[in-house]
Amino acid sequence: MARLDVTETFHGITFPGHLHTQDSLQSALRFPFQDTDILIVSYPKSGTTWMQEIVTLICNRGDPHVCQTVPNWTRAPWLEQHYCAMVLEKYPLNPRVITTHLPQHLLEPALQGSKAKVIYVSRNPKDVVVSYYHFCKMAKFFPDPGSFQDFLNQFLDGRSYYGSWFDHVKGWTRQTETMSNLLHITYEEMSLDPHCAVEKISAFLQRPLVEEELNSCLKHSSFSSMKNNTMVNCTLISPEIMDHSKGCFMRKGELGNWKSLFTDEQNQHFESVFSSRMQDCSLKFVWDL
Ligand code: A3P
């Protein structure tokens, strides 16, 4: 089956043109945020869908009904996708939960002065690149990833769709230092202590939960629940757009899965690029269990 990848270049960053147009990207930059909005921000494959599920559950006090009946792209639409405005108009959400993969410098003007609550999710980049590689094999709106070596080089050079992982993480991390309505949480924190992570997110959103509600959030946002939830596991997406024979969107959900693909040589090269690109950033990642 043919790939649907058309590259859209915007502010020097490449995007999948099947999902984003110049107009939709431009509109994202001028988006009129409301103070009650919740914005989930991440680099692809960092736990975006997981956070969408957690936030939806918290906003519904642990009740899974919305998670189990409304696809994530409707209940937490992507700001930069061409259908975002239509979804927000057609399905009024309260609060509005919006998702984006855009880098901080592009969203800064739209967020200036806004009290919208922003949650930035980051993940250790070795697991991101492995997850991204597998995803690109199945998602036909991305170019064929080729060999893992080629894909890794592209990632380290900042040539992946949605831009450089390093610039993304550093931009949003810098923003955390100055923006009080921004919570930065990592995939690893969520994996290692989901109870504490959900508590932290609900406190940030000023939506405290009683123990029973919190336990329900944990149950319904667990990897096994989400893997079986057709509203988030991408199985509703047609095979012309996502080739399900090439893999699963809810693939492994593991911390340290990069070890399944990286060679020692690739790891050494990665570490040297990482330490040079991240020397001006204090962020520390957990790489494995
Ligand atoms: P893997 O490919 O490593 O399994 P995104 O939503 O940003 O595209 O990220 C997708 C990654 O998050 C996938 O990683 C997916 O399995 C993982 N993921 C999604 N929900 C999860 C959960 N509840 N627990 C752990 N990992 C989860």
Q: What DSSP string runs through 11-64?
A: TTEEEETTT--HHHHHHHHT----TT-EEEEE-TTSSHHHHHHHHHHHHTTT--
Gap between the Cα atoms of 260 and 209, Å rounded: 38
Residue ID of nearest Cα to ligand 1 atom 12: 47
Residue ID of nearest Cα to ligand 1 atom 14: 253
- Nearest atom (ligand 1) to Cα of 43: 7
- Would you say the pTM of this structure is higher than 0.90? yes
Place 1 in a pLDDT band, splitting at 50, 70 and 90. low
CB of 221 shorter than 6 A to ligand 1: yes
Q: Is the pLDDT of residue 46 over 70?
A: yes
Domain annotation for the chain: domains and CATH numbers: 7-277 (3.40.50.300)
ipTM exceeds 0.95, yes or no: yes
Gap between the Cα atoms of 289 and 283, Å rounded: 18
CB of 100 shorter than 6 A to ligand 1: no
Distances (CA, A) of 206 to 61, 137, 161, 201: 12, 39, 34, 8
Residues 6 or more apart in contact with residue 20 via CB below 8 angstroms: 8, 10, 80, 81, 82
Q: What's the pLDDT tens digit per position in 168-203? A: 999 999 999 889 999 999 999 999 999 999 999 999
> Of 286, 282, 49, whose CA–CA distance to 191 is shortest?
286
Place 141 in a pLDDT band, splitting at 50, 70 and 90. very high
Residue 274 alpha carbon to ligand 1 centre in Å? 22
Residue ID of nearest Cα to ligand 1 atom 27: 253
CB of 45 shorter than 6 A to ligand 1: yes
Q: What's the pLDDT tens digit per position in 238-255? A: 999 999 999 999 999 999
Gap between the Cα atoms of 184 and 181, Å rounded: 10
User: Is the CB of residue 205 less than 8 Å from the CB of residue 190?
Assistant: no
